[in-house]
Every structure is written in C-alpha cells, then in structure tokens.
Amino acid sequence: MEFMQQGVGYGSPCTRTTTVLKHQVGFDTDIGGGRENQDSFFVWSKKSIKPGDDNILICGVLDGHGREVGRIAAVAAKAALLKYFDDYHDQLRVNPYECLVQAHNIAHINVKEAFRAEMTKEGFEVEDTPEGYLRRRRFAGNAWTCIHGGTSCSIIAIVGYNLYIANVGDSSGTLCCPKTVLSKAHIHHLGDSAIPPAITADNVASVSINSDGPTDTLVITAEHSPESVFEFCRLRSFKHREGNAHQPSLVVVYDSSSHDKTQCAPVFDVDVAGRPSITNNGKYYKNVRKEWASLVCTPNTALYSDALAFTRSLGDLHLHAYGVSHLPEVQYINLNEILGVVEASGPYAPPSIDPASAGINTDNIPPMICIVLATDGVWDNWKYEDVTKFVLDVSCLDAVATRGDGACRVAQSFMQRNTIHGKRNFGNQADNATGIVIFLSDAPTFIHNDVINSTPC
C-alpha cells in the first residue's frame, strides 16, 4: 500500500512550551430497547518509540443497521480498522488524509465480504450484481433478494497535538471546552474523498452545523444528513434522475408513515437553474434538537426498495449504486492552539453548583478539554451544549483530575443518564447507544491512562 507525503500546516502559530499531550479515555455502550446491540467501537493507542515521533490515539464508533446484517457490518468494519491501524498507523504522521480515507475503503470492502461469508454460511447462494451489490437466494429457481444493511463509521485520530476527524454517517463527535473560546474557524477541511471536482464551495451553499461566534462546543464530524445541500448536489452529480438533471436519482424526502417513501414530502425545492433550497416540510422530529426525520430512498423504478437516514455509510451496497458513499470527509484541528487559548483565559471557572459544597478544590483541576464521540442513540437525547455541561461539570473534571479511572467513571455516568433520557424520549424504541469520552491536557499534574480496545470500563 503506497502513500504520498502530505504536510499539515493549519492553525495559528503557537508559542506555548509543549511537552506531551496526555489523555484519559472512557467508554460504555447500552442496548437500549432493541433485541441486539448493533453498535461497536474501539480505542487504539500507540506510544512513540522513536525520538521526535508523536503518540497516537485512535477512537471509533460504528452504528450498524439492517435487521439481519447490522451487527455483522459494525463488527466487520471494526475488525478491518483495527488491523489496518496496526499495520499502517505510522501513515497518520505522513499523510493523515489518505490514511483515513484508505481506512474507510478497506473497512467497506471487509463489510461486503463479511456479508457474503455470513449468507454463504447460512446456506444461501450469493452473487455480485454488475452494479456492485450482493443478492442471495436459497435454491436455484428462487427469486433473488437484495442484502440490505451497513454501518456508520466515525473516527478521530490524535497524533501529538493534531486532531484528525473522518466520518461517514450520523455518529457524531463534539469538542467540549470549559471556556467559550472555540469557533468553527478552528476546524480545517483537509478534503472530501467522495466529492467530484465539479462540486466546490464556490457553487454549493454548504452550511456548517456550527454557528458563528465563540462557543464552548464544536461539532467536529461532517454532516451527512439528507438535509445537507452539499450532499444533495453530490448525489445529483453521481446519478441524476431520468429526464430531470436537476434532481438526483436517489429520492431525498422527509420521513412519514407512508409505505411508499418516494411519495413523502421532498426535502428540497429546486429552481429552474438547479439551485436547491430546503423546504423544512418535515413531519416529525427525530431528536430533542428538533431536527426533522429525513431519508434517501431508491426511486420507484428500482428493482429493490431501499432507504437510509443518511447519505454515507459502510456497506449499504445497493444504495451505493445510487450515490450513497463509503468515502469520508476529513477535518483537522490544532489542539495545541486550543489548549493555549484555554490556558491563557485564566483559571477554571466552576459552573452553577458550589464546588466547596462537594468538597472539590478547583485549584487542583488542570486545564483540559474533552472530545465526545457517540452514536445517534446518544445524540438523539441531547443538545450538543448540554453534553458539554455534563462532561465538564466540576464533579467530572475533579474525577479526571484525581483518579486514573476518572474518564471511565464519567463515561459510565454519562451513559446511565442517556439511558434515562432514552427511555423518557423513546420508551422501548430507544436505540442502541455508545459513547466515548476523551479528556486531553498537557498539564504536568494531569493523570494519563492507557485504556485500550473495547471492553467497557
């Protein structure tokens, strides 16, 4: 496997004296109201052994979907990613963009082969179609049926003070800061491996999830919602509708109770010049942030009906024939720059509770930031800023500052609270939920841990 060298030079010059960026990691998962937990996750780390090399920490969450193969997709993708990073983690120091794109590509291939192996083991005959998806049948003479399913995949890789984010699907990540010093300008777009050259920022009005102005919370994963103008144009460029070059072949709609999803309300109006605008004509909210439930589905001319609540995934081979992509967007954040701003903004300011009443000495809490990476079974129950308030509460920061297992305790507490929210919001329909919390600091007193792999704390 060959990689081309690529340097990264984003972020403002920083004159801080740096040592080693340390981390504490915690994680947990919950089956929710389902019969099977189709989520998976991993934590992988590598200490530098060569002078001048940076430590590497890689975390990922995967949310499988598909009644028969969702769990298979998530587990197969995880296995491929762990093997890939075992073999090629050094490429994150050389060309992080290409390394993370290739990781998704290999995971996608492994998902397809896992589907084939599982269906064959179950006694089915499996064939590849010319379009690249898999079909199965039990006996010769039976009708072929399509194999549906796949998984989201969101990865963060921390190399020294460099944070790289690559994702497909709706498993999101946030950067949480104890001070209101973050802005979307801190996120630098390294590239989008699924975007044709004709689609650029100059001709698509792509809107960031993050608002303008200072904040304590940044969504650091790319948006692959059917409401993304950028994704609508990408789908259209991949394959437009027969007889209408202004519309993608894949139908982009707001979900409703209709059995024929192609008849649901369209997400976009398109003018005579082909410019899309969001209709906001949704039927129900999918989460507590009051975001409309939307999806992409195959046209009614398709041999097999298929639908998905986001525009990129690993697997979903049939939908890939219409423009769903396994190729990620990759972004970069200079953590040294952010920690410098946090450090310069003064001592830790506790939130609303009185820390003295809990016996907490905030003078012992070093400057730190936190990354939360989770599946939609978590994010459906929280506003982004409320997650920041939780993980950076003085009690959580004190646990991290004083205990080697502090992040594990925070993760467990956070996921327990999410279980309560999920039952309240969705009852026995609560989704599988998985969350990873990563606390980061280079303060001398910060307690580092090396929790790895995927056994919940």
Q: Is residue 339 located within the same domain as residue 286?
A: no
Percent of the chain whose pLDDT exceeds 70: 88
Cα 10 from chain centroid (whole Å): 22
Interval 422-427 mean pLDDT: 95
Q: Is the pLDDT of residue 71 over 70?
A: yes
How far apart are the C-alpha atoms of 97 and 193, rounded to whole Å? 9
Write the pLDDT tens digit of every residue in 195-206: 876 555 544 434
Residue 402 has pLDDT above 60, yes or no: yes
407/426 same-domain check: yes
Look at residues 309, 335, 365 and tell me which one is the last residue of a structural domain. 309
Same domain for 78 and 181?
yes
Q: Is residue 1 part of a domain?
A: no
* Residues 191, 267 within the same domain: no
Do residue 368 and residue 294 come from a single domain? no
Answer whether residue 322 is part of any domain.
no
| Of the candidates 194, 141, 138, the residue with the CA atom closest to the CA atom of residue 168 | 194
Domain-located, residue 201: yes
CATH code where residue 344 lies: 3.60.40.10
Tell me the two tokens of residue 350: 């506790």
Distance CA 438, CA 373 (A): 8
**271 burial via Cβ count (<10 Å: 0-12, 13-18, 19+):** exposed
pLDDT of residue 202: 45
Q: Does residue 444 register a pLDDT over 60?
A: yes
User: Is the domain of 196 the same as that of 261?
Assistant: no
Instruction: Return the DSSP state at 183.
Output: -
Pair (30, 149) in one structural domain: yes
On whether both 282 and 375 belong to a single domain, the answer is no
Per-residue pLDDT tens over the stretch 179-200: 999 999 999 999 999 987 655 5
Residue 74 pLDDT: 98
Per-residue pLDDT, 354: 59
Tens of pLDDT, residues 195-248: 876 555 544 434 467 777 799 999 999 999 999 999 999 999 999 999 999 999
| Average predicted confidence (pLDDT) for the chain | 89
User: Does 287 share its domain with 167?
Assistant: no
Tell me which of 276, 309, 342 is where a domain ends: 309
pLDDT at 54: 82
The average pLDDT across 38-62 equals 87
User: What's residue 46's pLDDT?
Assistant: 87
**Is 453 a domain residue?**
no
* pLDDT confidence band for 345 (50 / 70 / 90): confident
Q: Are 25 and 449 in contact (CB under 8 A)?
A: yes
Q: What is the pLDDT of residue 20?
A: 87
284-330 residue pLDDT tens: 999 999 999 999 999 999 999 999 999 999 999 999 999 999 999 99
Q: Is 30 exposed, middle or buried (0-12, 13-18, 19+ CB in 10 A)?
A: buried
- As a whole number of angstroms, the distance between CA 128 and CA 75 comes to 22
pLDDT given at position 1: 57
Question: How much is the pTM?
Answer: 0.92
Q: Is residue 8 part of a domain?
A: no
**Is the four-CA dihedral 92, 94, 97, 101 of positive or negative sign?**
negative
Judge whether 306 and 295 are in contact, CB under 8 Å. Answer: no
Range of the domain at 41: 22-224+327-441
- The CA distance from 350 to 205, in Å, is 39
What's the confidence (pLDDT) of residue 453? 58
> Phi then psi for 157, rounded to 5 degrees?
-125, 125
> 239 with 339, same domain?
no
In a domain, 449, yes or no: no
Residues 99-155: tens digit of each pLDDT = 999 999 999 999 999 999 999 999 999 999 999 999 999 999 999 999 999 999 999
Q: Which amino acid is at 232?
A: F
Question: End of a domain among 309, 338, 364?
Answer: 309
Q: What is the mean pLDDT of residues 394-399?
A: 93
Mean pLDDT over residues 438-454, rounded? 83
Looking at residue 19, what is its pLDDT?
77
Q: What is the 3-state secondary structure (H, E, C) of 96-138?
A: HHHHHHHHHHHHHHHHHHHHHHHHHHCCCEEEECCCCCEEEEC
Task: Identify the band that residue 355 occupies on the pLDDT scale cut at 50, 70 and 90.
Answer: low
Residue range 5-23: mean pLDDT, rounded: 61
Beta-bridged to residue 156, according to DSSP, are 59, 165
For residues 89-98, average pLDDT = 94
Residue 8 has pLDDT above 60, yes or no: no
Which pLDDT value is given to residue 203? 43
Residue predicted with more confidence, 50 or 150? 150
Q: Tell me if 317 is assigned to some domain.
A: no
| Number of domains the chain contains | 2
Q: Over 70: is that where the pLDDT of 6 sits? A: no
Question: Do residues 245 and 270 share a domain?
Answer: yes
Same domain (yes/no): 250, 284: yes
- Top pLDDT among 455 and 20 is at 20
Q: Is residue 344 part of a domain?
A: yes
SS (H, E, C) 269-330: EECCCCCEEECCCCCCECCCCCCECEEEECCCCCCCCCEECCCECEECHHHHCCCCECCCEE
